[in-house]
Homo-oligomer: A and B are copies of this chain.
Amino acid sequence: MQTSFQTIGIIGKPSDPSIAETLAVLCGYLKQQHYTVFIDSASAHFIEDQHVTACSINALARHCDLVIAVGGDGTFLAAARAIVDYDIPLIGINLGRLGFLVDISPNELPEKLTPSMIEIVTKIDGMFLNSQRSDGLIVSTPTGSTAYSLSAGGPILYPSLNALVLVPLNPHTLSNRPIVIHDSAEIEISFCQTKQINALVTCDHIEIPEVFISDKILIKKDPKPIRILHPEGHDFFHILRNKLNWSSGYHTVS
């Protein structure tokens, strides 16, 4: 750390007692190095050190020439916003791991920065498939496979195939991929969720009312099929080629 810094401000993750120990170690170290140390008022009660001065975040930004954010990415971003007008540098310290920065932590950021992300637990015929953090999960028949499921990266299923496809929506884990299973399978979806956020369940274009985070969703094929009549000459591949513009671009000359 450069010796040109004299006054260091600390901004802690609000209302999180687990930062107390890190704050103590950090303040102790900084005082030992003869820095003047300020701490934001909300975190000050974690520190029993009379040589560390509590002040508002704004005052801290005005008086310090270096700010250290202790917490996760949310704390880091809040600190960044507080100091942006004062041209002072910022260091991030992750809870419990002294000295590592939080600005690039691919697996951690999604947890804090994507409020709509839920954790979905899926079972197939009673067997655990996975627990995935994502924006949602599409369960689609072959007919539905050319609609929203396709936009979300799912494959096209031939209409008469007895199959379903499960397509995760923007999954946290990058290797989470669409899975095609037999349509006789029973799918059970539940939520691994501590926060009381809402899950929205839509069936075809009908929204299921009053789904609670503690509910289980069971999906299975209706034993009674719908028979659909097609005109003569009906050609699924022809429709695909037209709708998806597969023939475009074949006649360019360069």
Q: How many residues of A contact B (CB 8 A)?
A: 115
A3 at the interface (CB under 8 A from B): no
List A97-156 residues whose CB lies under 8 Å from chain B.
99-117, 124, 127-135, 143-144, 146-148, 150-156
User: What B residues does A243 contact at CB under 8 A?
Assistant: 105-107, 249
Cβ < 8 Å to B, chain A residues 173-191: 173-182, 185
Residues 74-102 of chain A, each 1 if its beta carbon lies under 8 Å from chain B, else 0 = 10010010011101111110111001111
B204 and A77 within 8 A (CB): yes
| Cβ contact within 8 Å between A254 and B90 | no
A156 to chain B, nearest CB (A): 5
- Tell whether A26 is near chain B: CB-to-CB under 8 Å: no
A208 close to chain B: CB less than 8 A? no
Given A100-B230, A170-B170, A237-B130, are A158 and B182 also a contact pair (CB < 8 Å)? Answer: yes
Q: Does A227 touch B at the CB level, under 8 Å?
A: yes
Partner of A224, one of B85, B157, B172, B226: B85
Using a CB-CB cutoff of 8 Å, which residues 233-254 of chain A contact chain B? Answer: 234-237, 239-241, 243-250, 252-254
Question: Is B147 a contact partner of A228 (Cβ separation < 8 A)?
Answer: no
Q: Are B174 and A104 in contact (CB under 8 A)?
A: no
**A210 close to B (CB within 8 Å):** no
Residues of B with C-beta under 8 A to A30? none
Chain B residues closer than 8 Å to A110, beta-carbon distance: 147-148, 151
Binding site for B on A (CB under 8 A): 1, 66, 71-74, 77, 80, 83-85, 87-92, 94-96, 99-117, 124, 127-135, 143-144, 146-148, 150-163, 165, 169-182, 185, 200, 202, 204-205, 207, 222, 224, 226-231, 234-237, 239-241, 243-250, 252-254
